[in-house]
Amino acid sequence: MTTIDNVTALNAPPLRVWTVLTDFAGHPRWKPFIQLSGAAVPGGDATYTFRIGGLDRSMTSKADIIRADKPLAFAWTAGVAKFLLFEEAYALEGDSTGTRLRHSLRFSGLLASPLAALMRRKLQASLVRSDECLERHLRRLSASPLSKHRTPPVRAGVNGQRRRK
């Protein structure tokens, strides 16, 4: 198993950070590389959408939420067991200034070592960039009332169509 980590200090309490991480509908506001959708609960149905390199093409896959311990940790996996499976995990720890965040990618399976060897620098850079985007988003949230940034609930509209409130 290969692991790539990034540790950063965030000026927000762990509950605020955990709430942003598990608000999948709000991910487009800050998460640059991937989007999750579905239920942020262990065993919940979720999908993972990502872009390949600099291409304008997105790919979508099933994701499994494996940990959602409010406000301490959130993790999910995607891939094909024994071939290439990856886990993205966030571990949150409160400290005197807010939250110490450990963001990690773990790869397992037949292709894990070669992939990590080829892409370690890019994967590390993507973790750093994602965490910087999270930090900026948290700063924006703290600078304005929380209610402005909550994702509105989905409601059933006419003919059972879903619409935003």
DSSP letters spanning 51-72: E-TT-S-EEEEEEEEEEEETTT
For the cut 50, the answer to whether the pLDDT of residue 147 exceeds it is no
Lowest mean pLDDT among 10-14, 71-75, 111-115: 111-115
Question: What's the mean pLDDT in 98-127?
Answer: 90
- What is the per-residue pLDDT for 81? 82
Higher model confidence: residue 91 or residue 28? 91
- What is the per-residue pLDDT for 34? 85
In-domain check, residue 128? yes
Question: What's the mean pLDDT in 9-28?
Answer: 95
Number of domains in the chain: 1
* Assigned token pair, 22: 């598990």
In-domain check, residue 80? yes
In-domain check, residue 162? no
In-domain check, residue 8? yes
- Give every strand in the sheet of 58-69, ordered side by side: 2-10, 98-108, 84-95, 73-80, 58-69, 45-51, 34-38
What is the pTM assigned to this prediction? 0.81
**Residue 50 lies in domain:** 2-144
